[in-house]
């Protein structure tokens, strides 16, 4: 059932697919809290991706070459479908779209801080000054993009756009990050892909002069998630007439496998 939904929604992971073997389903712990409170919290690799299905048509008024006339806030994050662990945000979505996704987890300037063993936070080769460093994020999305760091909205551009033709599809945010994990939430919606061979990007890059990090897709080693993130599937902004009914998280861990999840 879940797998059918996945195919119908036309999702394909590019970078994430190749690294799916690194993902961990994160079911091993139950000591999660808000994840950034300073106490020891079990962390697993990757971000939690919560997927929603959006209406296929809304007034039928988004024809090829035309601009939509309905605010995307009114038709995104409509129907929660499933969640899965994804190692990073480096996607090329193909085929016809109409979905929203919310990635939830933590980001750490030091790689490898994902809860695998002792010594977290003391990662070789990266010394982050206590006062923090400025990091430039570049969230490239073909259609809507939002991002929150430690609860602060740093990117908010919830509109359709064509990444190839529109340089403003690169949403830039400069954020100061201190050592340790910081909560990160990235939201994306895919409207209609107008061509069958579309490769609509949703890719999160960063760069940091202070740490000599050149612009790159943020590697998987910098992301982690907690048990709490698995449950954090409410979108930050919901449609005005969205259903309020809560449903259990359907957790699957890869694009081709339905492991039964938690239901
Ligand atoms: Ca698109």
Ligand 1 center to 168 CA (angstroms)? 14
> Once rounded to an integer, what is the mean pLDDT over residues 243-254?
66
Q: Which has the higher per-residue pLDDT, 171 or 258? A: 171
CATH architecture of the domain with range 2-252: Sandwich (2.60)
Ligand 1 center to 77 CA (angstroms)? 15
Q: Which of 45-49, 123-127, 157-161, 178-182 has the lowest mean pLDDT?
A: 123-127
Ligand 1 center to 248 CA (angstroms)? 28
Per-residue pLDDT, 68 = 64
- Cα separation, 106 vs 112, in Å, equals 12
pLDDT digits (tens, 9 = 90+) for 62-72: 555 566 667 88
What pairing do the DSSP bridges indicate for beta strands 145-149 and 152-157?
Answer: antiparallel
Rg (the chain; Cα; Å): 18
Ligand 1 center to 194 CA (angstroms)? 8
Angle at 217 between CA 112 and CA 154, to 5 degrees: 95
Q: How far is CA 52 from the centre of its chain?
A: 12
pLDDT digits (tens, 9 = 90+) for 183-237: 999 999 987 665 556 788 999 999 999 999 999 999 999 999 999 999 999 999 8
pLDDT digits (tens, 9 = 90+) for 71-104: 888 888 988 999 999 999 999 987 566 789 999 9
pLDDT digits (tens, 9 = 90+) for 97-143: 678 999 999 999 988 865 444 344 444 567 889 999 999 999 999 89
What pTM, to 2 d.p., does this model score? Answer: 0.77
Evaluate whether 12 touches 101 at the Cβ level (below 8 Å).
no
Ligand 1 center to 263 CA (angstroms)? 30
- Cα separation, 99 vs 249, in Å, equals 17
Ligand 1 center to 171 CA (angstroms)? 15
Ligand 1 center to 111 CA (angstroms)? 31
């Amino acid at each position: 059932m879940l797998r059918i939904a996945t195919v119908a929604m036309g999702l394909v992971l590019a970078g994430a697919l190749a690294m799916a073997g690194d993902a961990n389903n994160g079911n091993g712990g139950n000591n999660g809290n808000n994840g950034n409170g300073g106490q020891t919290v079990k962390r697993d690799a990757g971000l939690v991706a919560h997927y929603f299905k959006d209406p296929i048509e809304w007034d039928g008024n988004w024809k090829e070459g035309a601009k939509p006339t309905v605010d995307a806030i009114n038709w995104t994050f409509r129907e929660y479908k499933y969640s899965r662990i994804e190692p990073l945000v480096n996607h090329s979505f193909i085929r016809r779209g109409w979905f929203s996704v919310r990635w939830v987890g933590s980001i750490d300037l030091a790689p490898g801080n994902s809860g695998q063993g002792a010594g977290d936070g003391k990662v070789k080769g990266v010394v982050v000054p206590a006062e923090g460093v400025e990091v430039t994020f570049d969230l490239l999305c073909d259609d809507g993009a939002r991002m929150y760091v430690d609860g602060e909205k740093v990117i908010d551009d919830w509109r359709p756009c064509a990444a190839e033709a529109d340089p403003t599809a690169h949403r830039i945010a400069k954020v100061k990050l201190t050592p340790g994990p910081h909560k990160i939430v990235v939201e994306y919606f895919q409207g209609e892909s107008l061509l069958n061979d579309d490769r609509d990007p949703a890719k999160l890059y960063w760069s940091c002069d202070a740490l000599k990090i050149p612009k790159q897709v943020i590697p998987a080693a910098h992301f982690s998630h907690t048990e709490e993130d698995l449950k954090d599937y409410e979108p930050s902004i919901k449609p005005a007439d969205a259903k309020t009914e809560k449903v259990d998280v359907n957790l699957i861990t890869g694009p081709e496998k339905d492991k039964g999840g938690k239901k």
